[in-house]
Structure 1
């Protein structure tokens, strides 16, 4: 699917993957112990949702390449943060290792896809 046919950020494969995985993390985090609500649970849910939110903001800023790239970089940073919180959840035995590996792999895919958007930002922006 070429970028000429994409009209909304919700159509981007990376957005759909990030949204799906954020919802998956939310559901899994509901099993974390209550004493982690303010720390790990809130952090992992917030960071995973921020990947999607920053991607949506980037889409809205396509008129300006630097602003578009900055929001994509923010989304990349959030994806990296999510991987760190997943590692903590696995280490604390709140997530099993297999689920943790799969989640980290999904967020690596998201991170790489965001990087490709940054690398090809000229094709996605309206700035001349």
Structure 2
């Protein structure tokens, strides 16, 4: 997929890390099609799940981007999922289910994807002007607080 040069991302789908993850998940799916049937509910499911979960965590991080701690937590989870994917790819290699070159290439993709959440955590400028998203305290909460203290 060709990357677009945006001043900021409008959606998680605009994020290069998300686009790369989608490609990785497709490649993992194709790779696991040739796994033995007795691995269907073991290695195949684990590898497919972890590779797809990276994107889900990135999408979730995008939704939580206005809350720094939640944003970082979700990106950390995405990084953990890509590391889990690396583990399952190494298991695939150890079991002889995929050619060494294919596994090494997929692991390199995981490592590239894994570097991106760290950069995202350090600079949220790709999210646009987050100050525009910050809400002022609601009058309801202010008046409720004032009424509770006034009754004391």
TM-score (norm 2): 0.78
Count of residue correspondences: 127
* Residue 76 of structure 2 is aligned to residue 73 of structure 1: yes
The unaligned stretches of length 5 or more in structure 1 are none
* Structure 1 consecutive aligned stretches of length 4 or more whose deviation exceeds 3 Å: 121-125
Which residue in 1 is equivalent to 2:59?
A: 56
Asked if structure 2 preserves the Cα contact closer than 8 Å seen for 1:69 and 1:121, the reply is no
75-84 vs 118-127, which moves further? 118-127
Equivalent pair of 1:54/1:74 in contact (CA under 8 Å): yes
Structure label with greater radius of gyration: 2
Q: 2:29 aligns with which of 19, 26, 31?
A: 26
Aligned residue in 2 for 1:92: 95
Contact 1:65–1:122 at 8 Å: present in 2 too? no
Q: Distance in 2 between matches of 1:14 and 1:48?
A: 13
**Bigger shift: 105-114 or 117-126?**
117-126
Shift of residue 122, structure 1, vs aligned partner: 6.9
Structure 2 unmatched runs, 5+: 135-152
* Distance in 1 separating the partners of 2:94 and 2:46: 16
